Amino acid sequence: MTDHSHIDDLDPAVFAQRVPPGFVFGTATSAFQVEGAVREGGRGPSTWDTFMAQPGRISDGSTAAIADDHYHRYREDVALMKELGLDAYRFSLSWPRIQHGGKGGANREGVAFYDRLLDELLAAGIRPMVTLYHWDTPEELQQTGGWMNRDTAKRLGDFAALAAEAFGDRVDQWVTINEPTTVTLNGYALGIHAPGHGMLFNALPAAHHQLLGHGYAVQALRAVGVPGGIGMTNVHSPVVSARDRMTDRFFANVFDTVHNRIFADPVLLGQYPKPPFGSGRLFRALSEVDDEDLKVIHQPLDFYGLNYYMPTRIRAGSPKTGETPDGEAEVMKEVPFSLEPFPEFAKTGFGWPVAPEYLAVTLGDMVERYGDALPPVYITEGGVSYPDARGATGAFHDDRRIDYLAEHLAIVLNGAPGIDLRGYFVWSLLDNWEWAAGFSQRFGLVHVDFDTLERTPKDSYRWLQAVLAAR
Ligand code: BGC
């Protein structure tokens, strides 16, 4: 196991000396994972409402109907952020809460909730970073194909215009879409997330349409003239081949293309990557797209949001189990390569490798691949789940999360030549509803008792608070 003790001094005052002036510290959440109140305030149904109600979809059988009840407790949550000393807070708008069925005018009650939240944040001196789309597609749009339907991209553009009109005066930064990779792979290719399709490579139009939606959303935000910065968020996972063999390297390349490059290249370079030699058939859906679409996708951005959780190791040959980092997918067994473990690293509660060195690899790849085309970068998510338990005195001693954050932050704070790193958003402020894993994975700096909804800051919260205070 790799020894991560290279952060020799976790003393917050010492650690704070690493933080350059102006570097932004935030936390991130998403609407569906924290809000609850799924039938209140005139909210319409979302594809995740449908998915979580299907038997066997969520590992602990839970739903996000109440989640953290943030819809009612947002004041308490903003107070926690203020006490933590955050500069910024990244959250997402629930599309079906604001625009029923993803069409037409705004639902006043939905808008009013985000008005209250934005005002509360600004009063606390916290800059809002707003994600337009973090996976909760209005169910009506799902019924007409969701992201397999090109029209959904247009709908996201219209939603962006509506959000810009309603909130543009108060939003500091906009993220159009969050992790189209995860929606495409988990939602449409493997069926672990909503809408639960197992289309494998036939899911690629869902990727293209989300990217197109990103482009339309940027155009809409710019047309309204919002003063806030505009960007998008992709999750990056550096890919290595399991063995020094051509077949492993080939599939590692295929995976890198489908996980990283097809989402970042068109946004930053205006073109889809060339598929690895011999894999053209798999990527045909993307090689046939119109140049006009690529122009829409390739908008100038004020920043690029990068989420990093873990690297991926690929070995040629179909896997024996359907195991993936986010849950079991039967259809995974049909894929001609498998995702291999990283026994050299410690594991998170999810079983994911703790590999800060691969965050450095990702940053290096970004510079190599995108160079001057890369706008300033924010790490819009990074964090870890552990089964945090209350200690004898009632506190949550999540030392492993402190180590994790210190190690990953140190990489970002050290900087990487050729990349303008502006901030880091911890996933997540609160323990919340972790999609297909339900309440079984706790990512929060703040513990949430899912029965009483009581919030208790963990030791990691106290550590970060002391670092931020000592800047
Ligand atoms: C997503 C979050 C999720 C986190 C941990 C990211 O992929 O944006 O919604 O909770 O990872 O799995």
What spacing in Å lies between the alpha carbon of 307 and ligand 1's midpoint? 9
What spacing in Å lies between the alpha carbon of 247 and ligand 1's midpoint? 31
Per-residue pLDDT of the chain (471 residues; tens, 9 = 90+): 344 446 889 999 999 999 999 999 999 999 999 999 999 999 999 999 999 999 999 999 999 999 999 999 999 999 999 999 999 999 999 999 999 999 999 999 999 999 999 999 999 999 999 999 999 999 999 999 999 999 999 999 999 999 999 999 999 999 999 999 999 999 999 999 999 999 999 999 999 999 999 999 999 999 999 999 999 999 999 999 999 999 999 999 999 999 999 999 999 999 999 999 999 999 999 999 999 999 999 999 999 999 999 999 999 999 999 999 999 999 999 999 999 999 999 999 999 999 999 999 999 999 999 999 999 999 999 999 999 999 999 999 999 999 999 999 999 999 999 999 999 999 999 999 999 999 999 999 999 999 999 999 999 999 999 999 999
What spacing in Å lies between the alpha carbon of 87 and ligand 1's midpoint? 21
Q: For residue 193, what are the domain limits?
A: 12-469
Show Cβ contacts of residue 447 under 8 Å, excluding neighbours closer than 6 positions.
388, 390, 396, 431, 455, 456, 457, 458
Q: Of all atoms in ligand 1, which is nearest to the CA of residue 385? A: 5
What is the amino acid identity at position 462?
A: R
In 3D space, the residue among 84, 26, 87, 88 whose CA is nearest the CA of residue 464 turns out to be 84
β-strand partners of 133 = 177
What is the amino acid identity at position 169?
A: D
Q: Supply the DSSP symbol for 272.
A: P
What spacing in Å lies between the alpha carbon of 445 and ligand 1's midpoint? 15
Specify the pLDDT at position 7.
81
Q: Give 3-state DSSP helix, strand, coil % of the chain, rounded to 5.
A: 45, 15, 40
Backbone conformation region of residue 18, classed left if phi is above 0, alpha if psi is from -120 to 50, else beta? alpha
- Residue whose tokens read 């494998």: 200
The domain that holds 422 is classified in CATH as: 3.20.20.80
Strands 377-382 and 421-427: parallel
Candidate of 435, 440, 448 to mutate for ligand 1, largest count of ligand atoms within 8 Å of Cβ: 435
Q: What is the SS3 assignment for 303?
A: strand
User: Measuring CA to CA, how many Å separate 316 from each of 204, 238, 249?
Assistant: 21, 17, 8
Q: Which helix (H) or strand (E) holds 222?
A: helix 204-224
What is the DSSP secondary-structure string of 354-399? --HHHHHHHHHHHHHHHGGG---EEEEEE-------B-TTS-B--H
Show Cβ contacts of residue 17 under 8 Å, excluding neighbours closer than 6 positions.
none
Q: What is the SS3 assignment for 35?
A: coil
**Residue pair 418/78 in contact by the 8 Å Cβ criterion:** no
Instruction: Give helix 459-469 / helix 399-414 axis angle, nearest 10°.
Output: 40
Residue 19 lies in a domain: yes
Specify the pLDDT at position 61.
98
Cα–Cα–Cα angle for 265, 269, 275, rounded to 5 degrees: 40
| Side-chain-facing half-sphere of 51: CA atoms under 13 Å | 29
> Hey, what long-range contacts does 386-393 have (CB within 8 A, 24 or more apart)?
386/348, 386/349, 386/442, 387/349, 387/442, 388/431, 388/442, 388/447, 388/458, 390/447, 390/456
**Residue pair 469/82 in contact by the 8 Å Cβ criterion:** no
Residue 98 lies in a domain: yes
Question: Catalytic pick from 120, 139, 381, 434?
Answer: 381
Specify the pLDDT at position 83.
98
Burial 300-327, CB ≥16 within 10 A → b, else e:
ebebbbbbbbbbbbbbbeebeebbbbbb
- Specify the pTM: 0.98
Report how far residue 175's alpha carbon sits from residue 230's, in angstroms, rounded to the nearest whole number. Answer: 6
CA 412 remoteness from chain centre: 18
Residue 239 lies in a domain: yes
Beta strands in 190-348 (DSSP E): 229-236, 239-241, 303-308, 312-316, 323-324, 327-328, 337-340
Residue 2 lies in a domain: no
Strands 312-316 and 337-340: antiparallel
Contact residues of ligand 1, CB 6 A cut-off: 30, 33, 178-179, 182, 235, 307, 381, 427, 434
Specify the pLDDT at position 398.
97
Residue 378 lies in a domain: yes
Report how far residue 147's alpha carbon sits from residue 145's, in angstroms, rounded to the nearest whole number. Answer: 6
Q: What is the SS3 assignment for 203?
A: helix
Specify the pLDDT at position 6.
63
Residue 5 lies in a domain: no
Cα–Cα–Cα angle for 395, 350, 468, rounded to 5 degrees: 45
Dihedral pair phi/psi, residue 47, rounded to 5°: -60, -30
Specify the pLDDT at position 4.
45
Residue 29 lies in a domain: yes
Cα–Cα–Cα angle for 53, 59, 60, rounded to 5 degrees: 85
Q: Whose CA is nearest to atom 3 of ligand 1?
A: 434
Radius of gyration of the chain (CA): 21
Specify the pLDDT at position 5.
47
What spacing in Å lies between the alpha carbon of 291 and ligand 1's midpoint? 32
Condensed to tens digits (0 to 9), the pLDDT of residues 409-436 reads 999 999 999 999 999 999 999 999 999 9
Report how far residue 206's alpha carbon sits from residue 149's, in angstroms, rounded to the nearest whole number. Answer: 8
User: Is 179 known to be catalytic?
Assistant: yes
Residue 3 lies in a domain: no
Report how far residue 230's alpha carbon sits from residue 302's, in angstroms, rounded to the nearest whole number. Answer: 5
Q: Which helix (H) or strand (E) holds 139?
A: helix 139-143
Question: Catalytic pick from 139, 179, 407, 434?
Answer: 179
Number of domains in the chain: 1
Specify the pLDDT at position 330.
95
